[in-house]
Structure 1
Amino acid sequence: MLIVTTEAISGYTITEVKGPVFGLTVRARGIGKDIVASLKGLVGGEINQYTEMLEDARKQAMDRMVENAHAMGANAIVMMRFDSGEIGQNMSEIVAYGTAVVAEPAEMK
């Protein structure tokens, strides 16, 4: 599936717009990761445990968005974006969203 952050796909013509599509996941931090993060916060630097958790969450949200687009009969997603937010004290929500479309290779001139 083609996924772009732009309105158009270079070399393709959008022949049909299927509609909005999204994938959502919510992740909770574990007590172990919170302890390690607190200690790392005292020293400074990247907190790898949280980085890995958010990378996995983005991938899962994107995979779910692609599944939804396939179910709608799309072969591409344009204007793809991520959004995130906090739920409670230890949960993060990640959503991937865009517009599901049918895109065909443009004719060569």
Structure 2
Amino acid sequence: MLMTNLETVPGRPIVKHIGLVQGSTVRAKHVGRDIMAGLKNIVGGELRGYTELLNDARQEAVTRMLDEAQQRGANAVVNVRFSTSSVTAGASELYCYGTAVVVE
């Protein structure tokens, strides 16, 4: 499955437009990560626990979007975008969406 943030796949004409596909996941913070993040705020640096959490959430959302595209008969997703939103205190949604297409 091809995936790009461009509106087309270079060198591969779009032969069928299927429509919007999406994937999302809602993740909550972990108390242990909060404690470590608080300590890291004192000395500075990357908050690795949160980086891992975001990477896992992003991968899950992408996988769900690509699964939907495949189920609908696509072989590519173009114009892929990500969005985040706060669902409740301590929990956020990571949302991935794009346009499912068939390319040659």
Residue 107 of structure 1: aligned partner: none
User: CA separation in 1, counterparts of 2:16 and 2:57?
Assistant: 30
Aligned to 1:25: 25
Gaps of 5+ in 2: none
Structure 1: state its 5+ residue gaps: 105-109
Paired letter, 1:52:
E
Report the Cα offset of residue 86 of structure 1.
1.4
Q: What is the alpha-carbon distance in structure 1 between the residues aligned to residue 88 and residue 35 of structure 2?
A: 18
TM-score, normalised to structure 1's length? 0.93
Q: Quick one: which amino acid aligns to residue 85 of structure 2? A: G
Give the residue type in structure 1 aligned to 2:101.
Answer: V
Distance in 1, Cα, partners of 2:80 & 2:87: 23
Distance 1:50 1:59 in 2: 14
Q: Which has the larger radius of gyration?
A: 1
Cα distance in 1 for residues equivalent to 2:93 and 2:42: 26
- Once the two structures are overlaid, the 10-residue window that deviates more, 46-55 or 85-94, is 85-94
Question: What TM-score, normalized to structure 2?
Answer: 0.97
SS at the partner of 1:101?
Answer: strand
Q: Does 1:53 align with 2:53?
A: yes
In 2: Cα distance, 1:46 partner to 1:86 partner: 21
Q: What are the within-5 Å matches in structure 2 for residues 20-99 of structure 1?
A: 20-99=20-99
Give 1:87 shift. 1.7
Q: CA deviation at 1:59?
A: 0.4
Runs of 4+ in 1 over 4 A off after TM superposition: none
